Structure 1
Amino acid sequence: MLFQVKMTVTIPAHLASGEFDSLKKLEKARAQELQIAGVWRHLWRIVGNYANISVFEVTNGEELHEILSTLPLFPYMNLEVTPLCRHPSSIEARG
């Protein structure tokens, strides 16, 4: 099942810059791991924001939640999740 996830990160003022830098490195590593595994299918930056639009391919919403909660920046994210299905007019192969 495909899900679009809009992730907007808000870093609290009390978080030390060194801690934030560490979290960003861990976040990048985890995101790349999930992309290599084929779970995180697309990752697009939203220009001018600390935010992205991503597409995940997972079994269900519960699995998606479990994956998202492993992201190091998860505690600082506002997430908007939209389930997706193929449009009948799409020329891309089904699958």
Structure 2
Amino acid sequence: MDLLTLTARIQLPSSEVVYCESSRNYTFIHLRCGKRILLSKTLGCIALGLPKGSFIRLSRSHIVNLNYLNSIVERDENYYARIAGGTRLPISRRRLKYVTSQC
């Protein structure tokens, strides 16, 4: 089990993280239990600490845990990752080929 160190006081199993969402220089970590953790780190900094092969970057704003990725859907010429719970996260056109090859 990979432990993800978010801050000096917060560690959790990476399997609990459903997805990460950036908001400028802050990142929301969305957990399996439905809670969100706000960190004053960029999404790029968070990405460096995530285990390789378990998470994939969808766009500048989102990283998703592959264990929670249900499907990729197209709607109005845009692509979305549908994750557990029915949430849809946008996939950038630039990363679409890479994302589909990893799923």
Q: TM-score range by the shorter chain?
A: under 0.3
Which is strand-richer, 1 or 2? 2
Between Structure 1 and Structure 2, the one with more helix by share is 1
Give the structure, 1 or 2, with the largest relative contact order (CA under 8 Å, sep 6 or more).
1
TM-score calculated relative to the size of structure 1: 0.22
Q: TM-score, normalised on structure 2? A: 0.21
